[in-house]
Amino acid sequence: MKILGIIPARFASTRFPGKPLVQIQGKSMIQRVYEQASMSTLLADVVVATDDDRIAEEVTRFGGRFVMTANTHISGTDRCAEVINKLTGFDSVINIQGDEPFIDPLQVDLLASCFDDHTVQLATLIKRIDIQEDLFNENIPKVILNDLDEAIYFSRQTIPFLRNVVKTEWLERGVFFKHIGIYGYTVQALQSITKLKASSLELAESLEQLRWIEAGYRIKTRITRIESIAIDTPEDLSKISGL
């Protein structure tokens, strides 16, 4: 099994333009993500997928690899699909978020290990919710599983709903998981899902993985205990100021 790590990175972020190039303790964000991903023991190679020359120049400066992609992609999944159509010889792809400068290589390896099972086509990570703030935060997608640890549904609402239980007791009375936004795909599955049209559930929740479930794909999950820190806005940089 030969697995490629791809880090989608675009300059034109609505909430944080130029985010991949922001300096964090003497290194650009994209360099930190690249170096962390490169410490994975299960990835055969790591590349940055970008549509911006400034990001490409920065990757070249620190000795990384990049692939130029179109500027019309709506999601990182679409950008990964273009890369894998240009780079051959890989069996699976790990889509690594470009805004997590301290992503733990163990998370990458945990996800990559899902493909030891050759029946797995799609995979992602989840983490048990242990604080009330996350449980009812609509910006944090939740997920419920079947007995095979496959995702049944993702929602921005809190799922499952505990009927006849006051919400202040939900964490004590139920088990809840949040989605960690790192994906794995076999090459064949990646090429197929990017040809699917946006689905009704995807449009309702604004979660692309619902398109895959509606189309009949199974998404394997693995539970991580590691909490990743994503940088979505300039203000988020304060989250890592003490690291």
Give me the pLDDT at residue 29, please: 94
Cis peptide bond prior to 141, omega within 30° of 0: no
Contact 66, 47 (CB under 8 A): yes
Domains of the chain from N-terminus onward: 3-227 (3.90.550.10)
Rounded Cα distance between 92 and 107, Å, is: 16
Give the β-pairing of 66-68 and 177-186: unpaired
Give me the pLDDT at residue 80, please: 97
pLDDT digits (tens, 9 = 90+) for 42-67: 999 999 999 999 999 999 999 999 99
Closest C-alpha to 97, from 68, 65, 121, 125: 125
Give me the pLDDT at residue 12, please: 78
Q: What is the pTM of this model?
A: 0.94
Give me the pLDDT at residue 69, please: 96
Give me the pLDDT at residue 242, please: 52
Extract the runs of DSSP E, i.e. beta strands, from the chain. Answer: 3-9, 23-24, 27-28, 45-50, 66-68, 92-95, 122-128, 142-145, 151-155, 177-186, 219-223
DSSP string over 60-86: HHTT--EEE--TT-SSHHHHHHHHHHH
Low pLDDT (below 50) residues in the chain: none
DSSP class of 217: -
DSSP lists the bridge partners of residue 48 as 7, 66
Rounded Cα distance between 226 and 86, Å, is: 33
